[in-house]
Amino acid sequence: MSTLPTDRPTDGSPELSIIVPTFREFEALPHLLDRLAELRRSRDISFEVIIADDDSQDGTEAMIAEKDLPWVQLLVRKENHGLSPAVLDGLALARGNTLLVMDADLSHPPEAIPAMLKALADGADFVIGSRYTDGGTTADDWGLVRWINSRVATVLARPLTSVADPMAGFFALRRDTFEHAKDPDPVGYKIALELLVRSGAKRIVEIPIHFSDRAHGESKLTLSQQLLYIKHLRRLYIFKYGIWSHLTQFLMVGALGTFVNLGALTAGLRVSMTERHALLLGIATSICFNFLLNRRFTFSYARAEAILKQFVGFVAASFAGAVVTYSVTLALREKVPQLSIQLAAVFGIVCGSILNFMFNRFLVFRAKHIRPESS
């Protein structure tokens, strides 16, 4: 007897659903279906396959109709195109208690599916067909640029998940894990990362795979889609870290603002302003700069509120922060004379910034009803 899910439970619906997002995969799809059919035969695994196609108009529809496989369902999506929304639509149609997602281009070996199912049966919440775990490999001719790109993207996701290959598009999970992910947000194409973080899956297993280069057709992922990754990361950080992610953004804006401040100060001196005036110019410029960036990024949930009122509040909070910076620095100098003024000032700035942040977060950019981010 096999421990692998099969599609012969009493209610007649398949235990495993395989979702394959496609866009112009007319050439690759028949090969994938052949290999999946072979898997059904040789390993005695049954499943349904849902092809979530973005209206490719390349003969995919006719080809699937002609093959007429009872276990294959084609979903032709006429709107809301994109890899992640296609996967989510496919998942919504899936009937199985086990859900698996893979690419059509044979980069993901169907032969790894039994090991992935075994890991789920053994208690994993989420299984990744992984290139970067021990034993996993990628095609040799991956260019340096593609390799660096993939590695940098992975490192940026490290605080969200410790898996070796969070960028993978080959993964499986149980239905109940999937249902834990409330309102998955299909920005960008890292749908596994999205589900991994939002479902709060704990027991994550990586099955090593060899990721082959696509043999047919071409990659669909453009640079602009890659840039969406930054937006995607930001949302996942907010989801996972809440106020800490706001504080981090606030401090990053503050660090940038320090450069703007010094730049304006220097420029003021160049046009022979007095030191005092140049100092004030630097402070005023950085306050405006920080305000705009914080409103746009750090506290973007409150962007619907009146800007002028927020600006006045921001200036007031900055003033309070400056007073704290000033007093903490001087008090430290007096209490601990061994400390240099610079070190004391750093400490003062940290205190002032945190107070500043609290004021902004809870008074200035308070949203009456915090709405989920929609852009």
Residues 106-145 as x/- pattern, contact with Mn ion by CB under 5 A: -x--------------------------------------
Binding at 81: pick from ligand GDD, Mn ion, none (beta carbon under 5-8 Å per type): ligand GDD
Report how far residue 248's alpha carbon sits from residue 101's, in angstroms, rounded to the nearest whole number: 34
Residues 219-238 as x/- pattern, contact with ligand GDD by CB under 6 A: xxx-----------------
Cβ at position 32, least distance to ligand GDD in Å: 9
3-class SS string, 239-294: HHHCHHHHHHHHHHHHHHHHHHHHHHHHHHHHCCCCHHHHHHHHHHHHHHHHHHHH
Contact status, residue 324 vs residue 355, Cβ threshold 8 Å: yes
Report how far residue 99's alpha carbon sits from residue 15's, in angstroms, rounded to the nearest whole number: 9
Residues 29-58 as x/- pattern, contact with ligand GDD by CB under 6 A: -----------------------xxx----
Q: Which is nearer to ligand GDD, 214 or 303 (CB)?
A: 214
Tokens describing residue 275 = 């030191």
- State the residue number with the nearest CB to ligand GDD: 169
SS3 333: helix
Q: Which is nearer to ligand GDD, 53 or 125 (CB)?
A: 53
Report how far residue 193's alpha carbon sits from residue 167's, in angstroms, rounded to the nearest whole number: 7
**Run of H or E including 142:** none
Among 15, 53, 89, 105, binds Mn ion (CB under 5 A): 105
CA distances from 321 to 299, 316, 357 (A): 18, 9, 9
Q: Is 7 in the site for ligand GDD (CB under 6 A)?
A: no
HSE value, Cβ hemisphere, 13 Å, CA-based, for 210: 6
Residues 103-162 that bind ligand GDD (CB under 6 A): 103-105, 107, 150
SS3 21: strand
Q: Is 214 in the site for ligand GDD (CB under 6 A)?
A: yes
Cβ at position 250, least distance to ligand GDD in Å: 31
Give residues in contact with Mn ion (CB under 5 A).
Answer: 105, 107, 214
Give residues in contact with ligand GDD (CB under 6 A).
Answer: 21-23, 25, 52-54, 81-83, 86, 103-105, 107, 150, 167, 169, 189, 214, 219-221
